[in-house]
Structures are given as C-alpha cells and as structure tokens.
Structure 1
Amino acid sequence: MQSGLNEPRSPCVANCCLDLQDVCLGCHRTHKEILAWHKMSREEKIAHLADLASRTP
C-alpha cells in the first residue's frame, strides 16, 4: 500500500497471521510494529524495512 509519493511501501503482504510471539507470518513484523507503521517518519520506515530484510528467512 503506497502512503504518499515518496513514502516507502508497507511491508504487508496480505498474509496476516500472528504466531505465538505476536509476529506476523507474512511480513515478519510484530503486532506492535504493524500498528506503529503509520506513525513512523519516512526515515524510520526505511530503517525498519532494512531491519525486516535481515529477519526474513
């Protein structure tokens, strides 16, 4: 989902299912991170996406 012209795309892949640790099996974000996405600055989103890349199996 695109938020704005220069905004990073959400890492959501529409495969939402939280595991026992509240981590989404689709995008590998925690429930807290999913809720915080819309409040993050552009820079925070970019840093978060880089962090998620290191989590993805």
Structure 2
Amino acid sequence: MSRATSPCIRVCTLDPGTGLCEGCGRTREEIVRWYRMTEEERLQIIAELPERMRAAFFPEGALTPNPTGRNDAGDSRRRPSPAHRGAPGGALRR
C-alpha cells in the first residue's frame, strides 16, 4: 500500500486568525479528514494551497513576508511561520 499524498512539512501550528495550518495551509477539518479523502480530493486541495497561503499570510502585492511579522494593523497573529522564512522544506537558514 502506498502512502497518500500530503502537503505536511511538520510545522503544525494552526493560525488563530485564519484557521489554517501555518506549515501546509490546510484547515483543521482537512487535516482530520486527510487520510479518509480520495487521492483526487487531496490533489484538488493541494492545488489550492499556494493561493490560499499567499492570501492568508502574505500582504497583497508583497513578494516576501513582512519582516516584522506584523500586518498593517500591527497585529502579529498572521505572521508567517519559520518554515515560510527559511530554506525549502522548512529548514531554517543560519
């Protein structure tokens, strides 16, 4: 039996402002149901994740996250996780 496709990068923190995992961009409900979904359902969600993450965690028009970790209102709830600021695969650069 092959392992199901998963976008998880092991940065499992749900953002209280968006309800999305800061690592992969899935909702709590999607995470809970993930291995009960068909591969087609999982691939559809995976296809939506880049836009979902951009809309949730990156200010409109910005190429990179705000280095202060705060949105325009001074609220730090929507700051990108270390995985978004680091090297590919979630490893932090030193």
Q: TM-score range by the shorter chain?
A: 0.7 to 0.9
The 5-angstrom pairing of residues 1-57 of structure 1 reads: 4=2, 7=4, 9-20=5-16, 21-57=18-54
> Share of identical aligned residues, percent?
38
Q: Look at both structures and tell me which one has the larger radius of gyration over its CA atoms.
A: 2
Runs of 4+ in 1 over 6 A off after TM superposition: none
Q: Deviations over 1:5-33 (max 9, x none)?
A: 6x4x2010100111114311111111111
Please provide the CA RMSD for this pair.
1.8
- Return the alpha-carbon distance in structure 1 between the equivalents of residues 8 and 39 of structure 2: 16
Structure 2 stretches of 5 or more lacking a match? 55-94
The number of equivalent residue pairs is 53
TM score, norm. by length of structure 2: 0.49
